[in-house]
Amino acid sequence: MTAEQFLNKEIAEVISTLYAQPAPDAALQLQATRREFEGDFTAMMYPLLKISKKSPEQTGEEVGNRLLQQCPEVASFNVVKGFLNIKLSADFWHKQFAAIAGSERYGMHPSSGKTVVIEYSSPNTNKPLHLGHIRNNLLGWSVAQLLEANGHRVIKVNLVNDRGIHICKSMLAWQKWGKGETPESSGKKGDHLVGEYYVLFDKEYKKQQAALKMQGKSDADAAKQAPAIGEAQEMLRRWEQGDEETVNLWRTMNTWVYAGFDETYQKLGVHFDRIYYESGTYLLGKKMIAEGLQKGVFMRRPDGSVWIDLTADGLDQKLVLRSDGTSVYMTQDLGTAQQRYEEYHFDEHIYVVGNEQNYHFQALKLVLGKLGYPWAAAIYHLSYGMVELPEGKMKSREGTVVDADDLIDEMIATARETSTALGKLDEIPADEQQRLFEMVGLGALKYFILKVDPKKTMLFDPKESIDFNGHTGPFIQYTHARIKSVLRKAAEQALQPALTDAAWMEKEISLIKLLHAFPAKIREAGDEHSPALIANYAYELAKEFNQYYHDVSILKEPDAALKKQRLLLLQQVAAVLKTAMNILGIALPERM
Identify the H or E element spanning 86.
strand 83-88
User: CA torsion sign, 485 to 411 to 540 to 104?
Assistant: negative
Residue-wise pLDDT for 254-282, tens only, equals 999 999 999 999 999 999 999 999 888 88
Residue 462: pLDDT above 80? no
CB–CB of 319/328 below 8 Å? yes
* Residue 480: strand, helix, or coil: helix
**For residue 394, what pLDDT band results from cuts at 50, 70 and 90?**
very low
Q: What pLDDT, on the 0 to 100 scale, is given for residue 568? A: 98
Q: What pLDDT, on the 0 to 100 scale, is given for residue 270? A: 96
Residue 225: pLDDT above 90? yes
User: CA torsion sign, 312 to 314 to 316 to 319?
Assistant: negative
Q: 516 vs 75, 321, 451, 523, CA distance in Å?
A: 18, 53, 21, 13
Residue-wise pLDDT for 567-580, tens only, equals 999 999 999 999 99
**For residue 391, what pLDDT band results from cuts at 50, 70 and 90?**
low
Task: Flag the least confident range among 48-52, 332-336, 460-464.
Answer: 460-464
What would the mean pLDDT of 408-434 be, rounded to a whole number?
82
CB–CB of 435/162 below 8 Å? no
Q: What pLDDT, on the 0 to 100 scale, is given for residue 403? A: 87
Residue-wise pLDDT for 485-510, tens only, equals 999 999 999 999 999 999 999 999 99
Task: Flag the least confident range among 173-187, 268-282, 454-468, 563-577.
Answer: 454-468
| Relative orientation angle of helices 227-240 and 190-214, to the nearest 10 degrees | 130
Q: Quick one: which of 209, 207, 200 has its CA closest to 174?
A: 200
CB–CB of 542/475 below 8 Å? yes
Residue-wise pLDDT for 304-347, tens only, equals 999 999 999 999 999 999 998 888 889 999 999 999 999 999 99
**CA torsion, ordered 351, 353, 359, 363, to nearest 10 deg:** -20
Q: What pLDDT, on the 0 to 100 scale, is given for residue 325? A: 84
Q: Which residues contact 314 (CB under 8 A, 6 or more apart)?
A: none
Q: 273 vs 32, 153, 173, 257, 513, CA distance in Å?
A: 38, 12, 33, 19, 37
What does the buried/exposed string (b/e) look like for 498-534 if buried means 16 or more CB atoms within 10 Å of the residue's CB? eeeebebeeebbbbbbbbbbbbebbbebbeebbbbbb
Q: What pLDDT, on the 0 to 100 scale, is given for residue 61? A: 96
User: CA torsion sign, 12 to 17 to 18 to 19?
Assistant: positive
Task: Flag the least confident range among 38-42, 56-60, 231-235, 386-390.
Answer: 386-390
Q: 547 vs 97, 237, 466, 469, 552, CA distance in Å?
A: 20, 65, 20, 12, 9
The edge-to-edge listing of strands for the beta sheet with 348-354 is 274-277, 153-160, 115-119, 348-354, 379-384
User: Which domains are assigned to the chain?
Assistant: 3-88 (3.30.1360.70), 404-583 (1.10.730.10)
* Residue 374: strand, helix, or coil: helix
Q: What pLDDT, on the 0 to 100 scale, is given for residue 434? A: 86
Residue-wise pLDDT for 528-547, tens only, equals 999 999 999 999 999 999 99
Find residue 354's DSSP bridge partners. Answer: 384
Greater confidence, 155 or 163? 155
What would the mean pLDDT of 367-395 be, rounded to a whole number?
84
* 234 vs 229: CA distance, rounded Å: 9
Q: What pLDDT, on the 0 to 100 scale, is given for residue 428? A: 77
* 523 vs 520: CA distance, rounded Å: 5
Residue-wise pLDDT for 9-44, tens only, equals 999 999 999 999 888 887 778 999 998 999 999 999
Q: What pLDDT, on the 0 to 100 scale, is given for residue 326? A: 82
Classify strands 83-88 and 306-309 as parallel, antiparallel or unpaired.
unpaired
Greater confidence, 431 or 160? 160
Average pLDDT, the chain: 93
